[in-house]
Amino acid sequence: MVLENKRASHLPKHVAIIMDGNGRWASKRLLPREAGHYAGMKSVRETVRAACDLGLENLTLFAFSSENWKRPKTEVGVLMGLLRAYFRSDMDELAGRNVRMRIIGHRSRVASDIQKLIEESEKRTLTNTGMNLTIAFDYGGQEEIVAAARELARAAADGRIDPETITTELFAARLFTSALPSPDLVIRTSGEHRLSNFLLWQSAYAELLFLDTLWPDFDRAALEGALAQFDGRERRFGALDSEAVA
């Protein structure tokens, strides 16, 4: 299916991807897990380029969860190194494509040089008006929800808000993704059928698509196929068929 000529209204406003399967990709080739992460970075680049070309407005990639700190130190070191490399080698292209970059998660837990790279990339692309690229790094959905609840609880305790006035919109405004629409489509590669603590609040009405494809094998064709599947689904948001939201 060719999507370049597809009306923008038929594309999801926000696609989120759980990039899974790097380790299994490497194991199938009798390679160390680190080789899978390097291969996965190539898929990140290809997917971001394809998303820009296809006219997606928002793309969020789950790169590193708050639970990933439990992995071996050598593997965590490789992942941190890949993040550094991405910021250093890809920012010129992203800026040239008018991409706006955001990082969500608890960035205070990463090394100071990575924090600086994050701040510089966000500042450099702040006024860009093309696709919003969000990288979820050191991110956990439950932590995010608890942090938002804690913030509202403090505001209520200080008398700044009335607890009876707290709405879903007010709560969502305290989340890392407050500047973004909720994802319409959440894709997970590698054949696993779970969200793994990713955008739990935001994905309440998202279409979920679980692919057997391992992340390093995910490419433009795979993204186009996922978008085609999304286009074939009927989204009712709790309504009857006749009341479905277009």
- pLDDT value, residue 10: 79
Write down the pLDDT at residue 232.
Answer: 87
List Cβ<8 Å contacts ≥24 apart for 230-234: 230/12, 230/184, 230/185, 231/6, 231/10, 233/207
**CA dihedral (113, 119, 121, 124) positive or negative:** negative
Instruction: Please check whether residue 128 lies inside any domain of the structure.
Output: yes
pLDDT at position 9: 56
Domain count, the chain: 1
Number of Cβ within a 10 Å radius of residue 83? 22
Asked whether residue 241 is assigned to any structural domain, the reply reads no
**Within a domain: residue 159?**
no
Which residue is catalytic, options 20, 22, 138, 184? 20
pLDDT at 24: 97
pLDDT for residue 169: 96
pTM: 0.91
For residue 55, being part of any structural domain is answered with yes
20 is catalytic: yes
The verdict on residue 240 lying in a domain is no
**Bridge partners of 139?**
65
58 is catalytic: no
Q: 4 in a domain, yes or no?
A: no
Look at residue 8 in the predicted model and tell me its pLDDT.
54
In a domain, 176, yes or no: no
Distance CA 28, CA 6 (A): 37
Listed as ranges, residues in the chain with pLDDT below 70 are 1-9, 236-246
Give the domain range for residue 24: 19-142+186-231
pLDDT reported for residue 107: 86
CATH number of the domain where residue 31 is located: 3.40.1180.10
Point out the catalytic residue in the list 22, 53, 58, 68: 68
Does residue 152 fall inside a structural domain? Answer: no
